[in-house]
Chain A
Amino acid sequence: MIDTFVARLEANACTVVGPLDVDGARAAVVERASGVVACNDDVPIPDLVAALRGAGTDVLTSDNPMWSERLASVAVGVTGAWCAVAEPAAIGIMAAPGSPRATSLVPPTHVCVVRVADVVANLDDAFARLASTPLPSALTWVGGPSRTGDLEMILTLGVHGPRAVDVILLD
């Protein structure tokens, strides 16, 4: 199932690494940091912000009173995921006080850390999980970089949402 998930994500023009252990995943995020990085609370990697700052990265967290104003300058948005579907590939991200929606929308690159245990096979399984979960104000399913077919039906990436989606699988 994870192999299917990876294959479908890559077919959607995502890059995927892992499964990695926590330290490997942390290093992978730090490796992808450039410019200003926005980091949501839902990333399942302890001490991630400290590691990023330790590497000299300017990290924007949601408790920053200038969060909204600074978001436009962010190069990489890092989030976790509530659940992911292997086929069709879709990563479900829940809005919450420490996890704003725009982190996975505004920056040109979205880095998403997904726990292998949170990957389900199909939509039926995802909806079954959802039935026993309190619904957030926004649950957004992401398949990959933003795209359009509006220009003579040829796929073009990077319209309004992120141009790049990097998925890090966490064991």
Chain B
Amino acid sequence: MTGHGMTGHGITTPGRDFRERGAHAVADTELQHALRNLDRRLRTAQESATAHPDWKDRAAAIRRETLRDLDGWLDRLEAKLTENGVQVHRAATPEEARRIVLDLARARNAKTVVKSKSMATEEIDLGNALEAAGIRSIETDLGEYIVQLAGERPSHMITPAIHKTLPQIRDVLAHEAGKDLPVNREALTAWTRERLRAEFLRADLGITGVNFAAADTGTLVLVTNEGNGRFCTTVPRVHIAVMPIEKVVPRLADLSVLLPLLTSHATGQPLTNYVTMLTGPRRAGELDGPDELHVVILDNRRSALLGTKYEEMLACIRCGACLNVCPVYRNVSGHAYDAVYSGPMGKVLTPLLSGGAEGTDLPYGSSLCHACSDACPVKIPLGDLIIELRADYPAASSPARRGRRAAWNAWARAWSTPRGYRLTTAAARLTRGRAPGLGAWTRTRVIPRPAREPFRDRWARERG
């Protein structure tokens, strides 16, 4: 069951806004069952912080050092990449990034592309663009492959098919296989291994993301558990890596803390099964590796955040810990956000990267519990950023905001004097606290009524 007509944008929780989609998700028993699997990642951030109390401070410092001179680090990275024989392309917008990749693919006559999991390629909707250009693009991360076959977008940046139960996964794979497959992990994995191996070995072009790019050595670092990232960067003649600007780190040595911090928060692993460090394309005499290595550096409104109160969002290392601890995400899953990025970090990035065109209701769909701020390995104050976004969206000039703002300001004027407070609360007592808009509460919860005698009057009476 998918909610959208567009290929690969399907979501399993239809609705016109975050609230409706969330309500749908809460009522979806299979989804709720699948989501309980995420509970095992609830404490990864806490455990990592307890085992390595100095890592977060070190990592937070490295990320902020990077942001203070992001342009400089990107220039250094570009210079080093070029020196290593990598072709560097800068893309200001998703359209530009897609064009760069499509031009390269067409110029190299690529018929089959294998893709390793990359949120940046989701952001620029690259898979659909390739298909539209008649180029077969196959997701090779198992979770991404499953959602691609289902015509859906990933629901979690680390575990893209977290919203699916094993029987649902079996159904997707069996449909593709054209035959019955057992509801059994080993069998489904074995079938996928064989199917995707054929694609790996015939692919002309490998497209990946980048977990980190070290400016001092021009090294691209990819982390995976499955080995698909390795295949995408070893077999095809051409490798294109798409990276958003904030993936640059000053030094390769910074990874001695950033890598285990990322993996411990993302999956609870001290390190992923594979870490691939790529410095340039294949060298003379080598039998494998790409002949050509391209890096597409994507901006997409990010540099506009530098120097603003939202700059810290660019410190994100895409670990997904904030999703794992979010009480909202844990109950609605990623599709409810109907955005590339979900969870707390998605609540912040979506309105910002879309220039306010998308997801402006997302920041309101938070209980402001700050579990995300606590979990973030690089100390991004996510809860505070979500509150800041509420002040900025809807925009001050919009009709939606103007009426609300006037009402809140009137309330504040009344309540900033004891007299105003007493008068308005006395009026509320008269109506026994009934007010429009409270139906959303009273439908499922009993509401407390104002007390006959507020505390301040009782104090005055008993202690005055």
* Chain A interface residues toward B at CB < 8 A: 12, 62, 67-68, 72, 87-90, 95-97, 100-102, 105, 123-124, 126-128, 130-131, 135-154, 156-162
Contacts and interface: CB of A to CB of B under 8 A. Distances in A.
A135 B255 contact: no
B140 A160 contact: yes
Contact of A149 (B200, B259, B267): B267
Contact of A142 (B165, B273, B284): B273
Given A97-B283, A137-B283, A160 B227 contact: yes
A131 B288 CA distance: 25
A1 to B, nearest CB: 16
Nearest to B219: A135
A159 B193 contact: yes
Given A153-B162, A159-B193, A143 B274 contact: yes
B274 A161 contact: yes
Contacts of B284: 97
Interface string B171-192: 0000000000000011011101
B230 A161 contact: yes
A141 B224 CA distance: 10
Interface stretch (B32-40, B296-304, B329-337): B32-40
B34 to A, nearest CB: 7
Given A12-B273, A154-B185, A158-B189, A102 B280 contact: no
A12 B255 CA distance: 22
Interface residues of B, number: 67
Contact of A152 (B160, B165, B231): B165
Contacts of A67: 287
10 contacts: A101-B234, A123-B256, A123-B271, A135-B279, A137-B281, A137-B282, A138-B289, A150-B146, A150-B160, A156-B189
Contacts of B287: 62, 67-68, 97, 100, 102
Contacts of A157: 189
B286 to A, nearest CB: 5
B201 A143 contact: no
A150 B159 contact: yes
B270 to A, nearest CB: 3
Contacts of B41: 153
Interface in B247-261: 252-253, 255-256, 259-260
